Structure 1
Amino acid sequence: MSQYYALGDRTLWNPSNGASRLFTRQVSLYEAELGLPSGIGPMRADECRIEPLVFSGFVDALLAWHGATRHAVVVSLSEGFVATVLVLADRAGVQVTWPPTASAETWAGALQQKSRELGRCMAV
């Protein structure tokens, strides 16, 4: 059994129920942490709709938050979620805004590499 994350009639991701359950719980956590809606709708009948404009704002805020943290544990805990969101943003055609930080090139490059590797594993 699996679930679908969709933008219009296009499937962006088709994870197992377990992976989807973990991801949607993390979505709720980061919505609360950022004080913003994610644009990732509720799971209904094994399908979740993504609202691209709201999602775009969430992705940018998430990247800014992640780039500003210097706490090694927070970085480690959030890295997988951020990479997963970047894969969805790429598949949705959402343009992301990388925040200017002292280590932006290294930081952004590492996250982009991680999201590329993860994207190969994320079923469509």
Structure 2
Amino acid sequence: MSYPFEYGDETLWDAGYHSGQLYRFLAQGAAEFLDVPSGLTPTPQGGCAVDREVFQGFVQRLYDLSASSSNEVLRSLAHDLLVTSLVLLDRSGGTVALRPEDATPIGEATSALARSMAS
């Protein structure tokens, strides 16, 4: 059973059911912590619709938190959620502004993860 993340008629990620649900709940919790909407809306078919503009704002705030924190635990907790979110955002045609020193390591992590995320 899958848990697709869709932007319009396009499937951005055809996640496994448990992976998809866990990602959605983690993103929702992070969005609440950041006091912004996530841009992810559960669908009656058992997946998530992605509102790219809202989701882009969420991902930017998540990156900004991670990039501005000196707390290694906070940065680590945010990292995998951020990388997964960047794959979805990229597939929807959205982007976030990264600091030059973060562009290569985050880009490499995002590319590596994207290869394992079926679309």
Q: TM-score, normalised by structure 2?
A: 0.93
Q: 1:101 maps to what in 2? A: none
Give distance in 1, aligned partners of 2:103 and 2:43: 30
State the Cα deviation string for residues 73-115 of structure 1 (Å, max 9, x = none): 11112111000000001000002122xxxxx333332111111
Alpha-carbon separation, structure 2, partners of 1:76 and 1:59:
15
> Could you say what the CA RMSD is over the residues aligned between the two structures, in angstroms?
1.2
Q: Which runs of 4+ in 1 moved over 6 A?
A: none
**Consecutive unaligned residues in structure 2, runs of 5 or more:** none
Report the AA paired with residue 81 of structure 1. L
* Match for residue 111 of structure 1 among 106, 109, 113: 106
Q: How many residues are treated as equivalent by the alignment?
A: 119
Task: Find the aligned partners of 2:103 and 2:88 in 1 and give their Cα distance.
Answer: 16
Higher strand share: 2
Structure 1 residue runs without a partner (length 5+): 99-103
Match of 2:62 in 1: 62
Percent of aligned pairs sharing the same letter:
30
